[in-house]
Structures are given as structure tokens and as C-alpha cells.
């Protein structure tokens, strides 16, 4: 299914508003999605043909409101590995709750507030394999369920979050998990008798080091990686 096929069924903004919004705020997020998700996926999977954009509450607004959803359209389909990577990258946006992937044979809606390490089926909130045909008098139960969840009114009011609360938990967001991991490390360091001042300095260094591992140039090369540090560090090197 292409975006052009589904946007009318769900009442979404048209294609240009999703992939090339005019408002400065929505455009900033759309450009970020293209740079951090589309470009990264195309580097990792060179044969992938895709487009990426956002569903913004007001595509013409200049305010930088967090988008309702990230949309990835895979023109020729995508492997499970590519879809998992798309979800992981969308999850890193932290506050965007929903990822929608479009392939020729299906639409998948994913929760971006669930840890990407979970089973792929557990990350889905909706699967739709076909739209109603012109000859159909009414949508079938699966199509009706998908429209109830993903219709524009449900998205902009946040009703979809209430329909499946178990799929959208604040504790599963990337920023929430990061903070919890830092709390665990902090407790461990303090339990060893490390002074609080030095503990916080060490946590700051950990955060900065991880930033350097994830900071990449235009070719996808990180500033720091395992190969660079081999021979320069003693002990075991673990890169998250």
C-alpha cells in the first residue's frame, strides 16, 4: 500500500503534507526523519527504495510540535531486518509514539514506546493487508478496526493511545529507559563507596562517550567505534 492509497481511507493529510510539509516546524521534523532514518536505512540496505516523512497535527505550522507519527513508505517492500531497524531508529525519537510502515502488500503500525529488543509481533499495534474495494458496501471488521485506531481524528485527539494503553507506556520510551539505566549505574557506583561528585562526573563521561559512538558522519561512520579503540583500551569493550 502506498501513502496515496491509504490517506483518504484514514483521513490523513495528503502526500505533500506528509513528506514535504510547508510549515517550518513540521519541515524540521520531516528533514530530521529523512536524515536520521531514511538515510541510515539506505546506507545499511543499499537496495532499499523508500521515502520517509511525518504526520504532523498542522503541517503548515511554524511551531516545532512533536509529530503524531513517523511514516516510512517502502516501495518494493522491506526485509524484517530493515523493518526492525526502522523501528529502532524511530524509537530513538523518544516522544513520537507511532511509526507507520507502508509496503505494497500491507500497512504496519508500530509503537515507538516499546523496547526494540522485544519480539517483532509485540511491537505492532495494527496490521492491515488490504483496503476496501470499490465494490464493497462496507469495510470488513479488520479494516474497520484499523480505521478506528488510525483515523486522523483518533490520531490528533490521542484516542489511539487509550485504545491500546499496554502498547504505549512512557517507561518504554528511549529517554525513559536511558534514565533508568543511568539510575542503575549510579546505584552500583555509589554502592562501591564512590563519592557522589565523582559518580556524577563518571556518568557524564559515559553519556558523552555513548554520544560519540552514535555520532556519525555523512558516510555513516561513527566518531568512535570498536576498531578505533582496540589496542588503546585494556579489558573488555562493550559498545551499546
Together in a domain, 76 and 185: no
With vertex at residue 67, the alpha carbon angle to CA 115 and CA 213, rounded to the nearest 5 degrees, is 50
Measured CA to CA, the distance from residue 173 to residue 122 in angstroms comes to 15
Q: What is the pLDDT of residues 152-177, one digit of tens each?
A: 999 999 999 999 999 998 888 877 77
Residues 65 and 165 in one domain: yes
Question: Is the Cβ–Cβ distance between 160 and 150 less than 8 Å?
Answer: yes
Structural domain contains residue 34: yes
Residues 96 and 195 reside in one and the same domain: no
Q: Is the pLDDT reported for residue 235 higher than 70? A: no
pLDDT (0 to 100) of residue 77: 92
DSSP state, 131?
A: P
Do 79 and 184 reside in the same domain of the chain? no
Query: Which of 122, 146, 169 is a domain's end point?
Result: 169
Q: Which of 21, 195, 67, 177 is nearest to 113 (CA)?
A: 177
Q: How do beta strands 69-74 and 98-103 pair?
A: parallel
pTM: 0.80
pLDDT at 176: 72
- Select the highest-mean-pLDDT range: 57-61, 213-217, 225-229: 57-61
Q: Is residue 55 part of a domain?
A: yes
Residues 94 and 8 grouped into a single domain: yes
| Within a domain: 75 | yes
Q: What is the DSSP letter of 36?
A: I
Residue 230 has a pLDDT of 66
**Region 97-125 average pLDDT:** 95
Identify the residue with better confidence: 221 or 121.
Answer: 121
Let me know if residue 240 belongs to a domain: no
How far is it, in rounded angstroms, from Cα 135 to Cα 41? 38
| Confidence check: pLDDT of 240 > 50 | no
For the segment 61-68, the average pLDDT, to the nearest whole number, is 88
- Residue 18 scores a pLDDT above 70: yes
Residue 155 makes CB contacts below 8 A (sequence gap 6+) with: 12, 55, 68, 69, 98
Last residue of a domain, one of 119, 150, 169: 169
Number of domains in the chain: 2
Work out the angle at residue 118's Cα, subtended by the Cα atoms of residues 115 and 122, and round it to the nearest 5 degrees.
Answer: 105
Burial class of residue 86 in the structure, from the number of CB atoms within 10 Å of its CB (0-12 exposed, 13-18 middle, 19+ buried): buried
14: left (phi over 0), alpha (psi -120 to 50) or beta: beta
Percent of the chain whose pLDDT exceeds 70: 87
Phi, psi of 152 (to 5 degrees): -55, -40
What was the pLDDT predicted at 237?
43
Mean residue pLDDT of the chain comes to 87
Give the confidence band of 89 by pLDDT, cuts at 50, 70, 90.
very high
pLDDT (0 to 100) of residue 239: 42
Q: Which of 138, 169, 200 is the last residue of a domain?
A: 169
- 239, part of any domain: no
Which of these, 199, 176, 174, lies nearest to 188 by C-alpha position?
199
Distance of CA 58 to the CA centre of its chain: 20
Residue 168: per-residue pLDDT: 92
pLDDT band at 228; cut points 50, 70, 90:
low
Cell numbers given for 166: 499496554
Domain shared by 183 and 150, yes or no: no
Domain extent at residue 154: 3-169
Q: Cα–Cα distance between 16 and 13 in angstroms, integer?
A: 8
Amino acid at each position: 500500500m502506498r501513502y496515496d492509497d491509504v490517506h483518504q481511507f484514514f483521513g490523513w493529510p495528503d502526500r505533500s503534507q506528509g513528506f514535504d510539509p510547508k510549515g517550518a516546524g513540521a519541515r524540521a521534523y520531516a528533514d530530521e526523519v529523512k536524515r536520521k532514518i531514511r538515510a541510515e536505512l539506505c546506507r545499511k540496505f543499499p537496495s532499499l527504495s523508500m521515502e520517509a516523512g511525518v504526520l504532523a497535527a498542522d503541517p503548515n505550522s511554524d511551531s516545532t510540535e512533536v509529530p503524531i507519527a513517523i511514516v516510512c513508505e517502502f516501495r518494493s517492500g522491506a526485509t524484517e531486518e530493515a523493518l526492525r531497524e526502522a523501528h529502532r531508529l524511530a524509537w530513538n525519537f523518544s516522544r513520537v509514539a507511532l511509526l507507520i510502515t507502508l509496503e505494497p502488500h500491507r500497512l504496519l503500525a508500530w509503537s515507538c514506546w516499546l523496547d526494540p529488543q522485544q519480539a517483532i509481533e509485540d511491537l505492532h499495534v495494527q496490521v492491515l493487508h488490504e483496503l476496501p474495494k470499490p465494490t464493497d458496501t462496507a469495510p470488513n471488521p479488520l479494516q474497520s478496526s484499523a480505521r478506528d485506531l488510525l483515523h486522523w481524528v483518533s490520531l490528533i485527539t490521542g484516542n489511539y493511545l487509550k485504545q491500546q494503553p499496554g502498547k504505549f507506556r512512557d517507561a518504554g520510551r528511549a529517554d525513559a529507559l536511558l534514565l533508568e539505566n543511568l539510575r542503575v549505574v549510579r546505584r552500583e557506583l555509589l554502592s562501591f563507596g564512590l563519592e557522589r561528585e565523582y559518580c556524577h562526573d563518571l556518568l557524564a563521561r559515559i553519556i558523552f562517550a555513548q554520544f560519540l559512538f552514535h555520532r556519525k558522519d555523512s558516510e555513516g561512520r561513527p566518531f568512535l567505534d570498536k576498531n578505533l579503540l582496540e589496542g588503546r583500551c585494556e579489558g573488555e569493550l562493550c559498545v551499546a
